[in-house]
Amino acid sequence: MRIEIPAIVSGTTTIEVEPGRPAVLLGPNGSGKSRLGIFIDDLPSSGVTHRIAAQRSLELPDEVFSERYDQAIGTLRRDKINKRRKPASPSTIEYAYDEMLSALFADHHRALETAHDRSAGRSYSERPSTRLDELQAIWKELMPHRHLIFSERTIKAITDYDAEPFEGSQLSDGERLVVYMLGQTPLLEEQSLLIVDEPELHMNRALLVRLWDAIERARSDCAFIYITHDVDFAASRGNAGLYAVMDYRPPVLKEVLVRTRTRVDVDVPPAWTIQTLPLDSEMPNEVLVRIVGSRRPILFVEGHAGGLDHMIYKSVYSDFLVIPVGSCSQVMHLVRSFRKQESLHWLQCAGIVDKDFRPTREDGRVEDGVYALPVGEIENLLLVSDVFSALATAALVPSDELDARISRLKARVIELARKQSERMMLEQARARIWSETSQPIGIKAKNIAELARLYQERVMRIDPISILDECRLECEHVLEAGDYDDILRIYNDKGGLLNLLAKELGLSQRISQQRSPLYPLLAKTNVITALRRLLPALA
């Protein structure tokens, strides 16, 4: 199914959805995602649709009113051709629990009455399967220790350890939401389009993905559109089409006189700015969906969420969405992949990696979009004199002790670097050799034999002994000069340097751990200012 959506700039944007391949609409608040769901629900070209709003009441009635099946199912299902919708708003609270339960009970009783009539005069008749049975089957899969009882137009629940059943209204919000979603699933017309606004609302994260996996399996004939803020849920729809909803222009209305009454019609339809996210991108889906929910530029960094890299960069580059992605190679890979994607043109992207002996341009760039620190590793930043002074002030170190602590810190760092000089030289040589061998070779050859020969000649020109001697001379020169800033540029020792820092700041030795006493200091204004003077300005 191809759904044409009016575009703000010109023409239309196409959203494609089909059974087995849902569409996921992502975007920041105020971008008109919920209004887009209403618009699609109203479109005649979208066929038979059923929309579950984000603003929904989960008040489960203690008793369900009795209705004829045709009346009950007609109330739940919307005839958008013959029944005009009242003007809807994303903030309108949806009260559909009664309608859904009435339709389920009506279907159940109709099936039982039919089976009763057919069993007349027979010694055996099969028990009919009803839509309540379909609900119960999925519920049992999701909630094996809690059982639902549908009887005498009431809903009750009982757990394996309860003596007596309790009213369904006492179920948790998440459990009532599961009943609400599962109850509507079997009642959908065949080959319907289900539009779900904020499926994560009221839902336990551990249950959310399993619920919608089960619903999609149960209604494999239906297509699904999800409107969500939850990036983890969006990423879980592995085969989905991803769409970034960036902006919304409301409709222009006009009054039309029809005989003696005035009617309000749409003069100019609403429109959206929607970007289709690339499914064949080298970027993982979980990264794609994380960046779409923000209008801020993207900064990929090393490390993990909540780690030291993340905390420092998040404090300094507050205008960016900072995403830690592990290794330096992953940062560089994602920046390259991002910059290839024309469909992500509205977002700025950059990356920062540890220097690790990498050669850089004057502005700190390693390559287009990727910058390196001015020091060996992220930990070294905190030992730069101005940053350490700001940290010490934030840690309430007495001002009359500050100079002595800085002097002591410098002396210990230089001493530690001298003790580990051989390791430092070898690491620098290894990094240089890797950099030269990993660069694009760009060899042109007529056949494989010539290619092998030229490649071998290129590799043979790399002399590890000479490179090590050059690194040795540089390290010895820096160490002999005792230049503290130069040592921080070439010396890498995460644990040792952090222990020295902790000691001089009077902090716990577990400084590299989550919830470290160092982390609150990184949010102090004077510390951010000091770090900002050192870190590269991202273009």
The span from the CA of 163 to the CA of 316, in Å, is: 57
Model pLDDT for residues 182-200, shown as the tens digit of each residue: 988 888 889 999 999 988 8
| pLDDT score, position 391 | 93
User: What is the β-pairing status of strands 166-167 and 154-159?
Assistant: antiparallel
The span from the CA of 40 to the CA of 49, in Å, is: 8
| pLDDT score, position 535 | 92
User: What is the β-pairing status of strands 193-197 and 49-52?
Assistant: parallel
The span from the CA of 344 to the CA of 297, in Å, is: 11
Total-model pTM: 0.69
Q: Three-state SS for 392?
A: helix
Q: What DSSP string describes 410-462?
A: HHHHHHHHHHTHHHHHHHHHHHHHHHHHHS------SSHHHHHHHHHHHHHT-
The span from the CA of 350 to the CA of 323, in Å, is: 11
| Residue whose entry in the numeric block shows the structure tokens 């560089």 | 332
Q: Three-state SS for 18?
A: strand
In our burial notation (b when 16+ CB lie closer than 10 A, e otherwise), range 451-464 reads: eeeeeeeeeeeeee
| pLDDT score, position 440 | 47
Instruction: Please report how many Cα atoms fall inside a 13 Å half-sphere around the Cα of residue 528, on the Cβ side.
Output: 12
Supply the Cα-derived Rg of the chain in whole angstroms.
Answer: 32
Strand runs (DSSP E) across 17-169, as ranges?
A: 23-26, 49-52, 146-151, 154-159, 166-167
| pLDDT score, position 253 | 87
Edge-to-edge strands, sheet with 241-249: 49-52, 193-197, 223-227, 23-26, 241-249, 271-276
| pLDDT score, position 112 | 82
Torsional class of 14: left (φ above 0), alpha (ψ -120 to 50), beta (otherwise): beta
Residue 451 is encoded by which pair of tokens? 């290619």
Task: pLDDT tens for the chain, 539 residues: list them.
Answer: 899 999 998 889 999 999 999 999 987 777 888 899 999 998 988 999 998 888 677 777 777 777 787 887 877 777 766 655 555 666 666 667 788 888 888 888 888 888 877 777 676 767 788 888 999 999 999 988 888 888 878 888 888 777 788 888 888 888 888 888 898 888 888 999 999 998 888 787 778 899 999 999 999 999 999 998 877 788 788 788 888 888 899 989 888 888 888 888 888 889 998 888 776 556 666 677 677 666 688 899 998 888 889 999 999 999 998 999 888 888 988 888 888 776 676 678 899 998 877 777 878 788 888 999 998 888 899 999 999 999 999 999 898 999 999 999 999 988 888 888 788 778 777 777 666 555 545 567 778 888 788 777 777 777 777 777 777 887 778 888 888 888 888 888 877 888 888 888 888 656 655 567 888 888 899 999 999 999 998 87
| pLDDT score, position 90 | 67
Picking from 335, 394, 407, the residue whose alpha carbon sits closest to that of residue 368 is: 335
How confident is the prediction for the chain on average, in pLDDT?
83
| pLDDT score, position 302 | 92
| pLDDT score, position 443 | 64
- The alpha carbon of residue 357 and the mean position of all alpha carbons in its chain are separated, in whole angstroms, by 33
